[in-house]
């Protein structure tokens, strides 16, 4: 495995040379949000690179690349298509490699290197994409099953449609925020002793998910096949926490689904790990013995990814406990299947659309669960924390951090942090 000339890359870093995730930064020198990639504890400013002729001449067939790498979101870059993402990523891997074939472009160009390579702590992270529509699926089989058992018993745990189609709902694009943004406990209408009252949610929860950004969509009325989605339509992946107010959701969701229980905040990790970077970590998802409809067939056997996921809860006092560990392979539908289903009736997808997997839980016990709802059986049991503390649902001052990575030390492909701290509800 090639190593990088970038200094001090921790072997445990999520951002090895094997990764090269794309994000949107602002810096003291350029406060307008613009693209960068992460490498070790540094960021490489792509807008600075895009202004350099030695760099842009490496992409003679993509004259719009410099402009795409200078926008305030990654949408223009994503829209260039997967072959371009592949070429740009592999070129950056070469430029950052110890045995780069083009040392003069970056490694040995001191002025450019100093201008473009900055410590991560000097950069602020922004939402990587302008999100047109956000859709959240429910493909985490063990989560759906566990929640179903809780509310309807073992015999009726899964709804009749669950094994036949990727159940999903339209989420709220305006409330998607980047890791680190504060999360305010929502006020909502909830039932107390059978009567509706208005007040701060008492059952504020997390949902550990994988998010997927669309590179290329479809015209209205057309549809996208599973294989086409796999090969051409996905830009990359992020970690996603679909914060949920369970008590608000319980009262509001019949018959039209979750609304205020979900639309107050959804946090995504800032670095988009490109589809190509995750290819080596393909895995088989949850077996589904159901005979599928044709439009859901034809994808790869190994349609999901084996990304090790963990959820940490840090109290206001600073004590951190890992409350859940699982893998993103615990999905019964792949993202390409979700896209095929989403577009079956002709619904147009656009560059920058965000898809959530649904909460991911493992098949095992409390320690493999992606929501407090499951870990605490809807508040009946406590999750014990470091510092002699315990939780049923989240407390003001809690910070939740999701992490995810795959690959060995020194060649890790990871997401960094998807983090949010809970602030007290607005009164009044």
Cα distances from 304 to residues 140, 152, 280, in angstroms, run: 12, 29, 11
Nearer to a second copy, 31 or 345 (CB): 345
Nearer to a second copy, 172 or 329 (CB): 172
Q: Counting contacts by CB under 8 A, is residue 257 touching a second copy?
A: yes
For residues 144 and 136, give the distance between their C-alpha atoms in angstroms, rounded to a whole number: 13
Q: Counting contacts by CB under 8 A, is residue 57 touching a second copy?
A: no
**In this chain, which stretch among 81-89, 170-178, 268-276, 280-288 interacts with a second copy, using CB under 8 A?**
170-178
Are 311 and 324 spatial neighbours (Cβ–Cβ below 8 Å)?
A: yes
**Closest by CA position to 15, among listed 418, 420, 417, 419:** 417
Nearer to a second copy, 190 or 278 (CB): 190
**In this chain, which stretch among 27-35, 182-190, 274-282, 396-404 interacts with a second copy, using CB under 8 A?**
182-190
In the annotated binding site for Mg(2+), the residues are 242, 262, 266
For residues 64 and 111, give the distance between their C-alpha atoms in angstroms, rounded to a whole number: 24
**In this chain, which stretch among 85-93, 217-225, 300-308, 317-325 interacts with a second copy, using CB under 8 A?**
217-225
For residues 217 and 223, give the distance between their C-alpha atoms in angstroms, rounded to a whole number: 9
Q: Counting contacts by CB under 8 A, is residue 284 touching a second copy?
A: no
Nearer to a second copy, 31 or 255 (CB): 255
For residue 16, is the peptide bond before it cis, meaning its omega torsion is within 30 degrees of 0? no
Q: Counting contacts by CB under 8 A, is residue 264 touching a second copy?
A: yes
User: What's the full length of the chain, in residues?
Assistant: 428
Are 24 and 36 spatial neighbours (Cβ–Cβ below 8 Å)?
A: yes
For residues 248 and 177, give the distance between their C-alpha atoms in angstroms, rounded to a whole number: 21
Q: Counting contacts by CB under 8 A, is residue 233 touching a second copy?
A: no
Q: Which of residues 254, 289, 380, 427 is near a second copy by CB under 8 A?
A: 254
Cα distances from 122 to residues 58, 190, 236, in angstroms, run: 28, 43, 25
**Closest by CA position to 265, among listed 350, 170, 171:** 171
Q: Which of residues 263, 314, 334, 357 is near a second copy by CB under 8 A?
A: 263
Cα distances from 155 to residues 150, 160, 365, in angstroms, run: 11, 11, 20
Q: Counting contacts by CB under 8 A, is residue 201 touching a second copy?
A: yes
**Closest by CA position to 138, among listed 212, 209, 71, 200:** 209
Count CB atoms within 10 A of the CB of residue 53: 7
Residues in Cβ contact with 414 at an 8 Å cutoff, skipping those fewer than 6 apart? 13, 14, 15, 19, 273, 403, 404, 405, 406, 407
* Least spacing, CB of residue 304 vs a second copy, in Å: 21
* Least spacing, CB of residue 356 vs a second copy, in Å: 12
Q: Counting contacts by CB under 8 A, is residue 172 touching a second copy?
A: yes
Q: Counting contacts by CB under 8 A, is residue 294 touching a second copy?
A: yes
Nearer to a second copy, 217 or 370 (CB): 217
Total chain residues near a second copy (CB under 8 A): 63
For residues 393 and 204, give the distance between their C-alpha atoms in angstroms, rounded to a whole number: 6
In the annotated binding site, the residues are 136, 138, 152, 207, 209, 242, 249, 253, 262, 266, 359
Q: Counting contacts by CB under 8 A, is residue 248 touching a second copy?
A: yes
Provide the mask over 78-97, with x wherever binding to a second copy is found by CB under 8 A and - wherever it is not: --------------------
In the annotated binding site for substrate, the residues are 138, 152, 249, 253, 359
358: left (phi over 0), alpha (psi -120 to 50) or beta: left
For residue 75, is the peptide bond before it cis, meaning its omega torsion is within 30 degrees of 0? no
Nearer to a second copy, 83 or 346 (CB): 346
Residue of 85, 126, 142, 143 marked active site: 143
Nearer to a second copy, 48 or 245 (CB): 245
Q: Counting contacts by CB under 8 A, is residue 192 touching a second copy?
A: no
Q: Counting contacts by CB under 8 A, is residue 245 touching a second copy?
A: yes
Please say if 145 is a catalytic residue: no
User: Which run of H or E residues covers position 22?
Assistant: strand 22-26
Provide the mask over 334-373, with x wherever binding to a second copy is found by CB under 8 A and - wherever it is not: -------xx-xxxxxxx--x--------------------
Task: Give the footprint of a second copy on this chain (CB under 8 A).
Answer: 132-133, 138, 159-161, 164-165, 167-175, 177, 182, 184, 186-189, 196-198, 201, 217, 220-223, 245, 248, 251-260, 263-265, 293-295, 341-342, 344-350, 353, 423, 426
Which residues are designated catalytic? Answer: 143
């Amino acid at each position: 495995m090639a190593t990088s000339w970038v200094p001090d890359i921790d072997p445990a870093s999520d951002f090895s040379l094997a990764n090269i995730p794309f994000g949107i930064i602002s810096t003291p020198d350029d406060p307008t949000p613009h693209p960068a990639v992460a490498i070790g504890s540094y960021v490489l400013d792509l807008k600075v690179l895009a202004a350099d002729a030695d760099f842009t001449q490496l992409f003679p067939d993509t004259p719009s690349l410099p402009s795409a790498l200078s926008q305030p979101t990654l949408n223009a870059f994503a829209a260039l298509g997967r072959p371009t993402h592949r070429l740009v990523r592999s070129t950056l891997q070469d430029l950052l490699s110890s045995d780069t074939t083009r040392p003069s472009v970056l490694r040995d160009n001191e002025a450019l290197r100093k201008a473009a390579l900055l410590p991560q702590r000097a950069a602020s992270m922004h939402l990587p994409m302008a999100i047109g529509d956000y859709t959240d699926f429910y493909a985490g089989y063990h989560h759906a099953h566990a929640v179903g058992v809780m509310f309807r018993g073992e015999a009726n745990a899964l709804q009749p449609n669950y094994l036949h189609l990727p159940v999903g709902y339209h989420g709220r694009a305006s409330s998607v925020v980047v890791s680190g943004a504060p999360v305010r406990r929502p006020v909502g209408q909830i039932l107390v002793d059978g009567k509706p009252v208005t007040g701060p949610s008492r059952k504020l929860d997390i949902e550990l998910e994988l998010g997927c950004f669309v590179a290329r969509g479809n015209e209205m009325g057309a549809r996208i096949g599973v294989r086409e989605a796999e090969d051409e339509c996905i830009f990359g992946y992020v970690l996603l926490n679909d914060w949920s107010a369970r008590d608000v959701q319980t009262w509001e969701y019949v018959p039209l689904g979750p609304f205020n229980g979900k639309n107050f905040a959804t946090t995504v990790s800032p670095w988009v790990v490109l589809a190509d970077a995750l290819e080596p970590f393909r895995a088989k998802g949850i077996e589904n013995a159901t005979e599928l409809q044709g439009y859901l067939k034809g994808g790869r056997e190994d349609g999901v990814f084996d990304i090790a996921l963990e959820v940490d809860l840090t109290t206001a006092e600073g004590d951190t406990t890992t409350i859940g560990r699982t893998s993103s392979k615990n999905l019964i539908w792949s993202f390409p299947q979700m896209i095929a289903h989403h577009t079956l009736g002709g619904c147009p997808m656009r560059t920058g659309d965000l898809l959530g997997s649904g909460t991911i839980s493992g098949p095992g016990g409390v320690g493999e669960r992606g929501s407090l709802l499951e870990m605490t059986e809807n508040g009946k049991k406590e999750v014990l924390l470091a510092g002699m503390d315990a939780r049923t649902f989240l407390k003001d001052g809690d910070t939740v951090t999701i992490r995810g990575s795959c690959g060995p030390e020194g060649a890790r492909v990871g997401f960094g942090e998807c983090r949010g701290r809970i602030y007290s509800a607005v009164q009044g």
